[in-house]
Amino acid sequence: MSLQIQMLGTGSAFAKTFYNTSAMVTNEHARILIDCGFTTPKSLHKLGITPDQIDGIVISHIHADHVGGLEEIAFRLFYQHNKKRIKLFITEPLAFILWENTLKGGMNNPEDGYISLDDYFDVILLEENKPTEIFRGLTIEILPTQHILRKTSYSLFINSRIFYSADIRFNEQLLIHEVVQKRNCHTILHDCQLSGTGVIHATLEELLTLPDDVQKRIFLMHYDDKMPAYIGQTGSMTFIEQYQILTLPE
């Protein structure tokens, strides 16, 4: 049995030639999204996939390039698919701020009694650091990681052997000791800021300091429009491209 990861986008928040970084993870039992940014509905549309064909969405953190497409997905299911509610896999702190700080403005509808995240989504709370089989053969572990100071943000382990950074500061210890030495992840999908000083994202310069054995496992995502100029300058790491499909052992 295998697991497929298809990138719906590989761009940074401000990229214009790539859609927002988001992954569609599929096995024989389910198809889920990791994050759903403001360009993700259009990316799905280009693939001919409608919201009712997605079984759930996992959320890493509350930036628009990771959650900005949720209102559209939920409204389309609600108003075009008979009030269907998609499963939303999220931690409790994120669920609260996702509604209160992001979605409530557009979705709160007291007149019709739709006043909470649960009115639009089938909210399934994930516990931090606890591997959870969300669908048969698909286990997600959500790991608190550093992105913006004092802002809740997570990376993910998928079926324990795939690491998905989402947005994260460079963390050598985590990548070498936890992801590679302890968990022996065969595949790492990592965000990458191509130039400038790394403050809230790992930079290419920082990632290039990793040992070769770690770099070989890394696919770079969440990059800006200048990515083509950096091809061949990423050591043993590879840029993953929009719509590229990785077929991985389950």
User: What is the chain written as a DSSP string?
Assistant: -EEEEEEEE-B-TT-SSSPBPEEEEE-SS-EEEE---TTHHHHHHHTT--GGG--EEE--B--HHHHTTHHHHHHHHHHHTTT--EEEEE-HHHHHHIIIIIIHHHH-BGGGTB-SHHHHEEEEEPPBT--EEEETTEEEEEEE--SSTTS-BEEEEETTTEEE-SS----HHIIIIIIIIIT--SEEEEE-B-SS--SSS-BHHHHTTS-HHHHTTEEEESB-TTGGGGTT-STT-EE--TT-EEEEE-
Q: Which of 30, 148, 176, 246 touches ligand 6SY by CB under 6 A? A: 148
Number of residues that bind Zn ion (CB under 5 A): 4
Q: Does 200 bind ligand 6SY (CB under 6 A)?
A: yes
Find the shortest distance in angstroms from Cβ 65 to ligand 6SY: 5
Q: Which of 65, 119, 141, 224 binds Zn ion (CB under 5 A)?
A: 65
CB of 193 to ligand 6SY, least distance (A): 8
What is the C-alpha to C-alpha distance for residues 89 and 54, in angstroms, rounded to an integer? 13
CB of 123 or CB of 202, closer to ligand 6SY? 202
Closest-by-Cβ residue to ligand 6SY is: 13
Residue whose CB is less far from Zn ion, 135 or 154 = 154
- Contact residue for ligand 6SY among 35, 65, 119, 141 (CB under 6 A): 65
Binding of ligand 6SY at residue 190 (CB under 6 A)? no
Q: Nearest distance from residue 56's CB to Zn ion, in Å?
A: 20
Does 119 bind Zn ion (CB under 5 A)? Our answer is: no
Which of 71, 141, 167, 224 forms a contact with Zn ion (CB under 5 A)?
167
| List 167, 174, 188, 215, residue binding ligand 6SY (CB under 6 A) | 167
Binding site for ligand 6SY (CB under 6 A): 12-13, 63, 65, 148, 167, 200
